[in-house]
Amino acid sequence: MTLQSEIHVHRHGAVGHISLNRPKAINALTQDMCEAMADTLLEWRNDDAITAIILDHAEGRGFCAGGDVQLVRRSALEDDGAAGRAFFRAEYRLNHMMFTYSKPIIAFMDGVTMGGGVGISQPCKFRVATENTMFAMPEGSIGLFPDVGAGWYLPRLPGQLGRFLGLTGARLDGAECLWAGLATHYVSAADVAEAKAHIIETPHDIDAALRSLMPSPAPDARLAGNAASIDKLFAPDTLEGILAALEADGSDWANKELKAVASKCPTTCKVALRQLAADAPDFAANMALEYRIAARMLMRHDFIEGVRAVLVDKDGAPQWHPSTPEAVTEAMLDAIFAPLPDGEEWTPLA
């Protein structure tokens, strides 16, 4: 498949339109796709005839399932991670450009929206969920960490919801995304085409175009019923403390989430907790920190093993090393978060 077929670029009057089209991979992002999107946005940023941008997917069952982690794994095994680092550099530059973009971008999170899909939807001023939305940050299952800006977005969610999502990899539906603030609007999947048409007709009032199609009242968010438990049981500052709180609670819900957290890579979980507490001064600083982490995590046994277990052999039985939270030391975390050598740090696009 050529790059031109993986990214469709259109113009509808004053509205630019980017559609991801890699359906067999649920539109997982490659470096070329990230760079093509960045180039398009740079062109439209300086084009006075473009006032807004629609971002969606052309085909398949999901908006974007993430980044091409199998490519990154091969890089770790074959070229000392060079191609993997180049991918993360390009992806994070796209994330940062979108976060600082001067024109409104409307992301349609219809279907699977995970990992890298979160990274290209959360920076958008308008984030539209549907009943098909399946939102998650599942990096703990593959020994990576919640990246693509998660260190900025997750701590800003209500209560301890960010920790909950980062540690459990929980999947949220569209109504839950709206309740949590991860989506700004909710429409029926059957109305998505009409919503885009309204935006193209009235790009000066995107909010009204979307709200005209929102159900009233909004669908119930199941997760709201567990908000108090999330705030209580995910409040401890350590992974060991959170696991102990979940175990001590003993409810069916707590036992389910205990199993979810305990199955994830212990190093990933501890990295996530430190990352979410980092309090970067701005989004660029957050992305620079995430790049440091990514550059180290992609070369670790846990990432290579996690992708093997989930996506290559698909046995669902990763062997983490270290295998317990207690064995993940502060010195190990310090090394993962440490500055990179001169000339290797991440920087935004000019």
Question: What pTM did the predictor assign?
Answer: 0.96
- In total, the chain counts a number of residues equal to 350
Q: What CATH number should be reported for the domain holding residue 82?
A: 3.90.226.10
pLDDT band at 60 (very low <50, low <70, confident <90, very high): confident
The pLDDT score that the predictor gives to residue 31 is 97
* d(C-alpha 257, C-alpha 243), whole Å: 9
pLDDT band at 1 (very low <50, low <70, confident <90, very high): very low
* d(C-alpha 268, C-alpha 171), whole Å: 18
**Whether 31 contacts 69, CB under 8 Å:** no
250 found inside a domain: yes
- Does the pLDDT value for residue 3 go beyond 80? no
Domain count for the chain: 1
Residue 67 designated active-site: yes
Phi and psi at 127, nearest 5°, equal -130, 110
Quick one: what percent of the chain has pLDDT higher than 90?
97
* d(C-alpha 238, C-alpha 332), whole Å: 15
pLDDT tens profile 291-324: 999 999 999 999 999 999 999 999 999 999 999 9
349 found inside a domain: no
Which tokens is 134 given? Answer: 């399946």
Domain around 91: 3-337
Q: Which of 66, 116, 140, 166 is catalytic?
A: 116
117 found inside a domain: yes
Residue 334 designated active-site: no
**3-state class of 152 per DSSP?**
helix
pLDDT tens profile 235-271: 999 999 999 999 999 999 999 999 999 999 999 999 9
Q: Which of 6, 91, 147, 302 is catalytic?
A: 147
343 found inside a domain: no
Residue 116 designated active-site: yes
**Measured between alpha carbons, how far apart are the two ends of the chain, in Å?**
30
113 found inside a domain: yes
From residue 135, alpha-carbon distances to 125, 247, 289, 334 in Å are: 17, 26, 24, 30
Q: Which of 16, 60, 66, 67 is catalytic?
A: 67
Q: Which of 139, 176, 257, 290 is catalytic?
A: 139
Residue 225 CB neighbour total at 10 angstroms: 10
342 found inside a domain: no
- Does the pLDDT value for residue 4 go beyond 80? no
Residue 139 designated active-site: yes
How much is the mean pLDDT over the chain?
97
pLDDT tens profile 104-142: 999 999 999 999 999 999 999 999 999 999 999 999 999
* d(C-alpha 206, C-alpha 158), whole Å: 26
214 found inside a domain: yes
174 found inside a domain: yes
**Whether 311 contacts 185, CB under 8 Å:** no
